Each structure stands twice: as structure tokens, then as C-alpha cells.
Chain A
Amino acid sequence: MKDAIVITVPSHPKFLSVVRAVTVTAVRLYEIDDTTAEEIKLAIDEACTNIIKHAYRGDTSGKIVLKYSAGREAFKVVIDDNGLKARPESIRGRSFDDVRPGGLGIHFIKRVFDIYKFDAKKKRGNRLTLIKYFEGEK
């Protein structure tokens, strides 16, 4: 992984548009196709939305740090926050047949990323690593 792009945004929903804009710019730099770029944009937005909602519980004074990088085999995003610890085992999307508000964000993340992993070693806050392998590299 080389040529990393790192941005820090406040944990306020109004900065999600900045995250989306940077994400699309980053994936284009890494020559990822437009359809996948849109899926990645939505996935990263959902991951940050989850941080604002669950890790920071709506506190807009926190920080979210996103690090984008790509190598020959994969595109990777590492997202750090200093909020409440996530409980990965409790993060489940709703069944598509159980039509109710909420529960879709995790599906949108896992639709495009092959790896969705929290760093258990991080002492304070969360570090979420998302990896998308390129065709034939999985």
C-alpha cells in the first residue's frame, strides 16, 4: 500500500458530504471503476454515520480519521475514532424481508468490502479496517 490519503473530519453529520467527496476523488485516483466507486462512497458514508450515531452517540465534538490507500491487490480504508467501543458481535443488519427503518448500513458496507474488521488491540475508541480486493486478487 502506498500513496495514502488521510483526512480528519469532525463527528458532525454535515461533514459526511466532505467524506463522500474525498472518497470519490480517492477511488478515482486509484483507478477504481465508477460503479464500485459509488458503492465504496456509500459504504464509507455508512461507516462514518455509524461512528457518529453509536461511537459518539451524536456528540459532534469528536474526530473521525480516514486513511485511504491502495496497492496492486486491494483498496483499503482505515477509519479511527475516539468514541465508545463498538461491539462487533452485536453489529448485524436487518433481514431484507423485515421491512422497517434502519439496519441497512452494514449491508451496504459488506456489499462492496471483502474485509470488515475492528482492531481489538486499539485501547481507546475504534479502528475499523475495510479492504476491497481487486478482481482476481481475493
Chain B
Amino acid sequence: MNITVAVYRGKKVVELSGDIDMYSSPELREHLMALIRRKVPSLPVNFGNVSYIDSSGIATFVEGLKCMKSYGGRLQFFGIPEGIMEILRFSKLDRVFEIYGNIEDVFDS
């Protein structure tokens, strides 16, 4: 997994690529929570280049979402590949996370 933070229209956007599993999710958690601790009002996450996610990766995002909700923040996903979308649907998490098609949809929300 590779994680970078880009700036788009003046806002931070988390760009992920590769596999998110038990090995890589602690690094993801560290980056995500560092941003969330600063109480960013919204955090868009680009899944466009994520090839795989398991329950460890999903748990990291559920934890991040709970933390953000506690102060009224919004965790926003976009560019989710169909295979990962199917996992979120199966887990009924497509109803829990804010999911958008692309970054423009995120900024228009």
C-alpha cells in the first residue's frame, strides 16, 4: 500500500494505492488518525488505485469514521473499484460511509 496526501482546491485529499490488509492497515491508521486528530472538517479518500481491502482495512476506516463523527467531521470516499464496492455492499457499509463517484462529486456535496 502507498499513502500520500494531496491538496486539491485547497483541501487535503488522501490518495491510496495497492493492497490494504493486516500488514498495511496500521500505517493507514497512523496517517488517517493524524489527520483526524487535527479535526479536519472533511477528509476525502481516493480509492481509485486500491487493488484490495480486507476486514483490517475496513476496521481502520470504521474507526476513523466514528472519530470524525464525534466532532461532526465527514469521511468521504470516491473512486471505489467495483470489487471493493461489492465488499462494502455485502457488509452494509455502503449505507454508512459517504461514497462518491469522483472528487468533483465530493466537492459538490
Contacts and interface: CB of A to CB of B under 8 A. Distances in A.
B55 A16 contact: no
Contact of A99 (B23, B56, B60, B96): B96
- Do most interface residues of chain A lie in helix, strand or loop, or is the interface mixed? helix
B91 interface: yes
B83 A97 contact: no
Interface of B is mostly: helix
B53 to A, nearest CB: 9
Contacts, number: 59
Given A49-B55, A100-B62, A102-B59, A17 B23 contact: yes
Interface in A23-61: 38, 41-42, 45-46, 49, 52-53
Given A13-B21, A13-B23, A111-B90, A45 B62 contact: no
A97 B92 CA distance: 8
10 contacts: A16-B22, A16-B23, A16-B54, A17-B23, A20-B21, A96-B91, A99-B96, A101-B59, A104-B58, A105-B55
